[in-house]
Chain A
Amino acid sequence: MTTEQSPEPAIRVQGIEKSFGELHVLRGVDLDVARGSIFALLGSNGAGKTTLVRILSTLLRADAGTAVVHGFDVAAKPGDVRESISLTGQFAAVDEILTGRENLVLVARLRHLKTPGAVADELLDRFSLTEAGGRRAGTYSGGMRRRLDIAMSLIGDPPIIFLDEPTTGLDPQARIEVWDTVKKLAQGGTTVLLTTQYLDEAEQLADRIAILHQGTIIQNGTLAELKQLLPPAQVEYVEKQPSLEDVFLSLVGATGTEKES
């Protein structure tokens, strides 16, 4: 391990490549995610964010490169990686026919916990779903469904959580609820890698932000670092601080959206 800083990162990605036929989605991605931090992967639709998350959560094999999650290589030790992570995908992965509580009990059983019922009740309470716990998840609103989805991901306290576009399709109120949840997670020491196409989401939540564009990470830094990237000449045109949106669009360029897949 050639680490510069002494604690090993929670996630280390080096030279990951992935193509689907002629389509080169990832062309050599490198990034490190520090333990206990919130890391935002920012990119337009089709930039390859979901592909990277799927590789890190052992759902997809990379064509080249290495990815180490919680000290385990995703290709060589997928079983150990799955013990260490939880994935909340782009579409709420809840069983609509089961009740909210049954969904939680199901995941607790599959994580081989001793008291699935107690775990479920505790999470229902924590996510303000106790009242809805006995209803089928199919009857939930988008925000409730997403909360249940995230609650299911927390069962077994995995040290690393992947959130793939956790707030896509949510109303502003539900978005803020999800943001609060993510912040609390990080405070509890969980490492969170989230993907988003919402720039304010990254700005709100992330300790570090990486911009994935056309298959590579074109920038990686803290919000403050990214803001400094704008050339001073452009700062003169605006009176207030540039928002992250300005940074993103300037880095990606006007042609950026045409090449997406």
Chain B
Amino acid sequence: MTTHALADTGTLTGRSLRHIVRSPDTIITTAVTPIALMLIFVYVFGGAINTGTDESYINYMLPGILLITVASGIAYTAYRLFLDMQGGIFERFQSMPIARSSVLWGHVLTSLVSNLVSVAIVIGVAFLMGFRTGASFGAWLAVAGIIVLFTLALTWLAVIAGLSAKTVDGASAFSYPLIFLPFISSAFVPTDTMPAPVAWFAENQPVTSIVNSIRALFAEQPVGNDIWIALAWLVGIFVVAYAFAGVAYRRRVS
């Protein structure tokens, strides 16, 4: 049966992508909040923020905005997974001769596609607002790679939430802390103006190293150690979330 895993995952990904095409508002609402934040930060706060670099403020804060976009987008995965289990179609899939992991992977790949579309929209608006980069094709690929990894890691967290939630609200509420994490990081202001304990947290939480890596790639600067710290965080979160999602899944279906 595992020989069908790829085909089944493809079929189920096609199914939930069709859901998104039929209600494109999920992509638009995912993009609207980060765009609004971007407008406020650039045109309201930005003039007063001293980032300590010559970069324009939008160049400085776009990486953080991209992470917020993904963090708010993955809530829909938890929501859709929860609805599947409520409706009985999940049980139908479980009682069919299909690779069981493909039910979850279908949702995860859908999340990847829809979040990348949202991220592309946000980057497009950022260009209109004056974002500029001379990043090479390789640097763009590296940024895309980081965003893909970030989306996968967070989506598996969303899968845990979707599988174990008792209510629709519970399924999507978990993403709020994730959306706020970039605010306590180097995403919008340099960490050295923060009080010592906050600065310590900001410098040692995953968002800072991810944001610094993307920022360096866009600015054609060396990424230094940040990229390795970022990758370690992302792979770590991915592996742990994937494992716990597996546990939550088996608890749900056994």
Contact = CB atoms under 8 A, between A and B. Distances in A.
Nearest to B23: A97
A91 interface: yes
A117 interface: no
Interface of A: 57-61, 79, 82-83, 85-87, 89-98, 102, 106-107, 109-112, 152
- Of the four ranges (under 10, 10 to 19, 20 to 34, 35 or more), the interface on chain B belongs to 20 to 34
B235 to A, nearest CB: 31
Nearest to A80: B97
Given A93-B89, A93-B91, 15 more contacts: A86-B95, A87-B91, A87-B95, A89-B88, A90-B88, A91-B87, A95-B89, A97-B19, A97-B22, A98-B15, A110-B12, A111-B96, A112-B4, A112-B7, A152-B92
Contact of A58 (B4, B87, B95): B95
Given A111-B97, A112-B4, A93 B23 contact: no
29 contacts: A58-B95, A59-B95, A79-B1, A79-B97, A82-B95, A82-B96, A86-B96, A89-B92, A90-B88, A91-B88, A93-B87, A93-B89, A93-B91, A94-B89, A95-B87, A95-B89, A96-B87, A97-B19, A97-B22, A98-B15, A98-B18, A102-B18, A106-B11, A106-B15, A107-B92, A109-B7, A110-B12, A111-B97, A112-B4
The 10 nearest A-B residue pairs measured at CB: A93-B88, A93-B92, A87-B95, A91-B88, A82-B97, A57-B95, A109-B11, A83-B97, A93-B89, A89-B88
The CB with the most chain A CB atoms within 10 A, among B1, B88, B89, B93, is that of: B89
Given A59-B253, A98-B15, A110-B8, A85 B95 contact: yes
B254 interface: yes
B66 to A, nearest CB: 28
B76 to A, nearest CB: 13
Contact of A59 (B4, B7, B87, B91): B91
Contacts of A57: 95
A87 B96 CA distance: 8
A66 B94 CA distance: 20
Contacts of B4: 112
B11 to A, nearest CB: 5
B229 interface: no
A94 B91 CA distance: 11
B103 to A, nearest CB: 10
A112 B1 CA distance: 11
Q: Which of A60, A61, A82, A92 has the most CB of B within 10 A?
A: A82
